[in-house]
Structure 1
């Protein structure tokens, strides 16, 4: 069994490229997940699972741009794995075409764990919770995880200041907001790379194709900034990878791996970057 959530696209969800920003999709996933667990909870304990969980890992693959539409976009979600203290949800974000086929915009997965917020610790799934999740179970193998490189000395630093609105009801920074932090850090890093170059570099149209985030330690609201570090870890023909860490001193709070594609603005297809931009990327490799 799968759950389908109708998610209204907001005008403010669009970015400068005129389509829904990559960060916003993660908010859609959260809305669908909470709706699924609330709608089909069989008891008060099962309903608490809707909000009494924390996200351990998020994997997002962007398939096509989503533009503003008054029609709700559909988010389908189901369970792919149940373990002692975690479970994994898969998602597909799409519109249905008149012929019944799908226009898929995104496919994703999140690993979640039940959490005792009063004691700041994870807990095991109860038998009742496992039974409720099993109704949605379609077992699937986990995707292989990328290898994180050790942060190089040339990594770019961006100070992340937590806004009061970033914090959820549990006084932690919401999992969606990490994507925004890493986006801000990545954009700042690209500007820094341009300044490092002795040549004039024009940044091409860049689109995020895939993003993986591992959440390790909750981020709390405070006046002092956290440190977000970014570096280039791979340069391909039409794409490259950026790895990032969100840190409090020497403590790594979260990690991200982002695959970015260079796109021809007219043809709307991947294209090799111009030599000057590629030279900047290659020079930044550890």
Structure 2
């Protein structure tokens, strides 16, 4: 599922919270999906200018996620993200979630995002100004 390029990865750290833990004593699967979106959003907020953030919005069209290992309350999570192929208004984004300070891959995801014009809320072709920062 992951199509990585080490030089183009963005990193974001997440601390597991008590409310993330399910009845089995580990992080609930739905939380991993929230983290995937959190890492992707952090990347956009880091990379985009204030003007780009006013002009464009992103929506998710599809998530694929593989759960590999459980995370626990005491864990800190290191998320990495990078973008893949784009076509028109859509592109693929990859996210990997690791136990921070280790090489233990907890989950990997591929999501398809669509760029929207913030005013019209209509899909907007991904132009070079967006590609240059991602």
TM-score tier (shorter): 0.7 to 0.9
Q: Does 1:52 align with 2:75?
A: no
Runs of 4+ in 1 over 6 A off after TM superposition: none
Corresponding residue number in structure 1 for 2:21 = 14
CA distance in 1 between counterparts of 2:89 and 2:30 reads 27
Q: Does 1:66 align with 2:71?
A: yes
Corresponding residue number in structure 2 for 1:24 = 31
More deviation in 121-130 or 11-20?
A: 121-130
Q: Secondary structure at the residue paired with 1:131? A: helix
Which residues in structure 2 correspond to 1:1-286 (within 5 Å)? 1-41=8-48, 43-48=49-54, 52-69=57-74, 71-97=75-101, 101-116=102-117, 118-133=119-134
Shift of 1:82: 2.1
Cα distance change of structure 1 residues 8 and 96 upon mapping to structure 2, 3 Å threshold: closer
Q: Secondary structure at the residue paired with 1:6? A: strand
Shift of 1:96: 4.1
8 Å CA contact 1:46, 1:132 repeated in 2: no
Shift of 1:106: 0.2
Shift of 1:48: 4.4
Instruction: With the length of structure 2 as denominator, give the TM-score of the two structures.
Output: 0.84
Instruction: With the length of structure 1 as denominator, give the TM-score of the two structures.
Output: 0.42
8 Å CA contact 2:54, 2:118 repeated in 1: no
Aligned residues: 127
Q: Which has the higher contact order (CA 8 A, sep 6+)?
A: 2
Structure exhibiting the larger radius of gyration computed from Cα positions: 1
8 Å CA contact 1:54, 1:115 repeated in 2: yes
CA distance in 2 between counterparts of 1:102 and 1:37 reads 25
Provide structure 1 residue ranges, at least 5 long, that are not aligned to the other structure: 134-286
